A and B are shown apart, each in its own frame.
Chain A
Amino acid sequence: MSKLLMFLSVFLLFSAPASAQHQHTNHGTTTTEPGAAAKYFTDVELVDQDGKKVRFYSDVLKGKTVVVNAFFTTCTSVCPPMNRNMEKIQEALGDRVGKDVFFVSLTVDPTVDTPARLKEYAKKFHAGPGWMFLTGKKENLDWALYKLGQYVENKDDHKTIFIIGNEPTGLWKKAFGMANVAELLQIVESVVNDKGEATKTK
């Protein structure tokens, strides 16, 4: 566990957006009206593995619990084991994926990673309907990655960190993408089950 702790840091990325939201809440329940999170992430246009255009905030994050990572399809070293881990989590969560929690993999190499390539890659990892692979215009993708703390200058520098966030409550955690699946699952569950306590204004 100590190894995991080294890599894992629980943090409140969006305490400001969350508190902004909580000013409109009643008895601890949360609202999903477009607030500071929408402003923070913005709605840049991205493209999924089916070639469908999606908006980063409205279509990908809004109202959802997400597990996000950054990768590229021609990566031969850390991406395959990292996405294999994602696949294992998908397997463990079964049909809750696409309902309680969504997976989002963003490419750091959009010029090479066309939707067709992403689709092929998704197949390799048996990605179900709740797992979205995103590409798009480089500047849009860079912006989305930047907002997630995953922007890198060189694709080989991409991170192996999963960002796990509950958009409605504003609780966001980070975990090492190649950690033990059971430990990763615990973290994902803790974010899925968050009731907004962690981010409540004191």
Chain B
Amino acid sequence: MNIRILVLFSAFLLLSGVAAYAQLANRGLTAGERRGKAIYLRGESASGKEIKAMIGDLDVPASTVTCAGCHGLRGEGKTEGGVTAGNLQWANMLKPYGHTHPNGRKHGPFDEKLFALSLVHGTDPSGNQLAVAMPRYQISPEDLADLVAYLKRIETDRDPGLTEETITIGTILPKTGPLAEIGTAMKDVLTAYFANVNDKGGIYNRRIELKTIDAGADAAATAANVKTQIENGEMFAIVSGLTAGAEKELAAVTQSAEIPFMGPVTLLPQTSAQEYRTLFYLLPGTSQQARALLKFAANKPELKKSRLAIVHSDKELALAAVAAIEDQARKNGWTSVTKKAFSSERFDATAIAGALKAEGAEAVFFLGASGEEAAFINAAAAASWTPHVFLLGAFTSRGLVNTVPLSFKDHVFLAFPTVPNDVTPAGLAELRALQEKYKLPSGHIASQLNAFAAAKIFTEGLKRAGRDLSREKLVTALEGLYEYDTGVTPSITFGPNRRVGAMGAYVLSIDPAKREFVSSGWVNNN
């Protein structure tokens, strides 16, 4: 045969193979394949009956020794503890020349019947015993058929929302109500950011497509909307969102769907990496900020062994901070800590200041509603009492800086998750370029910056995860981010046990004479 024809012919074969692969990879799973996947990943049978596994004479549910546990999420096989779990991708199992394993065991190719034998009796196609670590399963013929169907498909199975050409993601924003305008501002930034990424060729030749999920009227609606989108629509991950109030509900929804969620705006992050592995936050919430503030207080020599009082309202946000302060105080060896709760309807600054003065409190963490802190400080001043007062920026009024009496110089400290100086010239230029290119309005800059940072970190995660993308790989890539500079926030670090990117807070004091904030720098929580 003419060489040129041969080359052309083989190129054609290769291309058609690639096309067929792409087609398969883009097709959704059939019902049987989906059931098989549940068996493969979680050891769950669609029949609801338990699949049993035997390891030696140990009898356990298959859900504790899943196929994926040893053979990998994609059936690629892996070696651990000197035990090699083989590659289960169907094409590999069917190789006509069979397999020779590292320990010398040899056997011919599998077929469906031989596979069933290996699963149930623990023998390979040549009748050899499989490794001891490979359990034998008691599985019904229906479940077995589903499992085989999935193994035939596993190689080209992708996470939801992922095709050869696209990555579909969602964001959760209010479409109506008082926050709708902020929602629109954030949506515009996200849309522009990903349009710009796509403009430059996307991520490893995949375009990012963004859907907006309506946050709805309340927490239950938010959770329900997100759940519906996860179940109906194909969605790989969620990026950014205004979801205050629905923290717990959303954490539960994203956890059960194992969908990555990058950078929701909230003061109450659900930070357990163990429980909510796919949930990542950019900035510290009230409890992380409160911890940083306490660490700062603990380092002040004049407050060594002082009497600490926590004065707080009965609101959820305040209570979360109270728990964090108490815990951190214990860790820092603070022995004298008292708590005083008040309800916002019956707030009496003079009475509280009087009582705390009588108790001899020297450091006061005040967690009330905006404006109450100023009333408290002025009541203390009127009683000629000057304790150190610690506040969370999120709970204080803008006018505070103008109302602090002169006697409280170097006595009032506030924690903030981010400060204007976090926005570097480079970061600002990047955002400005986007605003110009996509004609974005410039209002609600803080929310825009937040959405921008979430989009940027998510994109960085995708780049690090590589072309052979999966949710698992994205989460692992994000866990590897160390002091990543977004240009618009404090630097972001995640880790296997860390889900808040900026873990700590800025502490600022107030100079009452000049009526301005004075920075005491960033306090790290770790």
Taking beta carbons and an 8 Å cutoff, which residues of A are in contact with B?
3, 74-82, 84-85, 88, 111-112, 114, 116-117, 120, 156-160, 176, 178-181
Within 8 A of A (CB), among B77-93: 78-83, 85
Give Cα distance in the complex from A114 to B85, angstroms: 28
Cβ B58 vs Cβ A158 within 8 A: no
How many residue pairs bridge A and B at CB < 8 Å? 75
Encode contact with A along B126-140: 1 for CB under 8 Å, 0 otherwise.
Answer: 000000110100000
What is the distance, in angstroms, from B340's C-beta to the closest C-beta of chain A? 30
Give Cα distance in the complex from A23 to B65, angstroms: 49
Contacts of A159 in B (CB 8 A): 81-82
Nearest 8 A/B pairs, CB to CB: A76-B69, A77-B70, A112-B496, A78-B81, A160-B81, A156-B80, A77-B80, A81-B55
Cβ B82 vs Cβ A160 within 8 A: yes
Cβ B79 vs Cβ A81 within 8 A: no
Contacts of B60 in A (CB 8 A): 81, 84
Known: A77-B78, A84-B60. 8 other contacts (CB 8 A): A75-B80, A77-B83, A78-B81, A85-B58, A157-B80, A157-B82, A159-B82, A181-B56
Contacts of B133 in A (CB 8 A): 77-78, 81, 160, 178
Residue among A3, A80, A88, A111 with max Cβ neighbours from chain B (10 Å):
A80
Contacts of A160 in B (CB 8 A): 81-83, 133
B68 contacts the other chain (CB 8 A): yes
Give Cα distance in the complex from A75 to B79, angstroms: 11
Partner pick for B64 among A74, A80, A116, A178, CB 8 A cutoff? A80
Cβ A120 vs Cβ B82 within 8 A: no
B57 contacts the other chain (CB 8 A): yes
Closest Cβ neighbor of A176 among chain B residues? B132
Cβ B83 vs Cβ A179 within 8 A: no
Cβ A180 vs Cβ B56 within 8 A: yes
What is the distance, in angstroms, from B32's C-beta to the closest C-beta of chain A? 25
Give Cα distance in the complex from A178 to B68, angstroms: 19
Cβ B58 vs Cβ A111 within 8 A: no
B66 contacts the other chain (CB 8 A): yes
A-B contact pairs, 7 of them (CB 8 A): A75-B80, A78-B133, A80-B64, A85-B58, A111-B495, A120-B274, A157-B82
**Given A117-B274, A178-B132, A181-B57, is A77 in contact with B85 using a C-beta cutoff of 8 Å?**
yes
Cβ A180 vs Cβ B57 within 8 A: yes
Give Cα distance in the complex from A88 to B56, angstroms: 13
Give Cα distance in the complex from A78 to B78, angstroms: 11
Contacts of A114 in B (CB 8 A): 497
Contacts of B82 in A (CB 8 A): 157, 159-160
What is the distance, in angstroms, from B74's C-beta to the closest C-beta of chain A? 14
Cβ B81 vs Cβ A77 within 8 A: yes
**Given A76-B70, A78-B133, A111-B496, is A156 in contact with B56 using a C-beta cutoff of 8 Å?**
no
Contacts of B80 in A (CB 8 A): 75, 77-78, 156-158
Give Cα distance in the complex from A156 to B60, angstroms: 23
What is the distance, in angstroms, from B113's C-beta to the closest C-beta of chain A? 26
Contacts of B55 in A (CB 8 A): 81, 84, 178
What is the distance, in angstroms, from A84's C-beta to the closest C-beta of chain B? 6
Partner pick for B58 among A76, A117, A120, A181, CB 8 A cutoff? A181
Cβ A117 vs Cβ B79 within 8 A: no
Contacts of A77 in B (CB 8 A): 69-70, 78, 80-81, 83, 85, 133
Give Cα distance in the complex from A74 to B64, angstroms: 13
What is the distance, in angstroms, from B29's C-beta to the closest C-beta of chain A? 22
Residue among A78, A116, A159, A160 with max Cβ neighbours from chain B (10 Å):
A78
Partner pick for A78 among B66, B68, B83, B495, CB 8 A cutoff? B83
Cβ A156 vs Cβ B274 within 8 A: no
Closest Cβ neighbor of B272 among chain A residues? A116
What is the distance, in angstroms, from B197's C-beta to the closest C-beta of chain A? 31
Contacts of A74 in B (CB 8 A): 496
Residue among A3, A81, A176 with max Cβ neighbours from chain B (10 Å):
A81
Residue among B56, B78, B81 with max Cβ neighbours from chain A (10 Å):
B81
What is the distance, in angstroms, from A27's C-beta to the closest C-beta of chain B? 42
Contacts of A81 in B (CB 8 A): 55, 58, 60, 65, 133, 135
Cβ A156 vs Cβ B58 within 8 A: no
Closest Cβ neighbor of B58 among chain A residues? A84
What is the distance, in angstroms, from B499's C-beta to the closest C-beta of chain A? 13
Give Cα distance in the complex from A124 to B436, angstroms: 55
Contacts of B497 in A (CB 8 A): 112, 114, 117
Encode contact with A along B78-120: 1 for CB under 8 Å, 0 otherwise.
Answer: 1111110100000000000000000000000000000000000
Residue among B60, B135, B496 with max Cβ neighbours from chain A (10 Å):
B496
What is the distance, in angstroms, from B393's C-beta to the closest C-beta of chain A? 29
Cβ A156 vs Cβ B69 within 8 A: no
**Given A178-B56, A180-B56, is A80 in contact with B69 using a C-beta cutoff of 8 Å?**
yes
What is the distance, in angstroms, from A90's C-beta to the closest C-beta of chain B? 14
Give Cα distance in the complex from A127 to B473, angstroms: 32
Cβ B81 vs Cβ A158 within 8 A: yes
Partner pick for A76 among B56, B68, B495, CB 8 A cutoff? B68
Closest Cβ neighbor of A3 among chain B residues? B132
Give Cα distance in the complex from A180 to B133, angstroms: 11
Contacts of B496 in A (CB 8 A): 74, 111-112
Contacts of B64 in A (CB 8 A): 80, 84
Contacts of A75 in B (CB 8 A): 80-81
Contacts of B132 in A (CB 8 A): 3, 176, 178-179
Closest Cβ neighbor of A70 among chain B residues? B81
What is the distance, in angstroms, from B399's C-beta to the closest C-beta of chain A? 42
What is the distance, in angstroms, from A24's C-beta to the closest C-beta of chain B? 39
Contacts of B78 in A (CB 8 A): 77, 156
Cβ A79 vs Cβ B56 within 8 A: no
Cβ A179 vs Cβ B56 within 8 A: yes
Contacts of A156 in B (CB 8 A): 78-81
Give Cα distance in the complex from A78 to B55, angstroms: 11
What is the distance, in angstroms, from A153's C-beta to the closest C-beta of chain B? 14
What is the distance, in angstroms, from B87's C-beta to the closest C-beta of chain A? 14
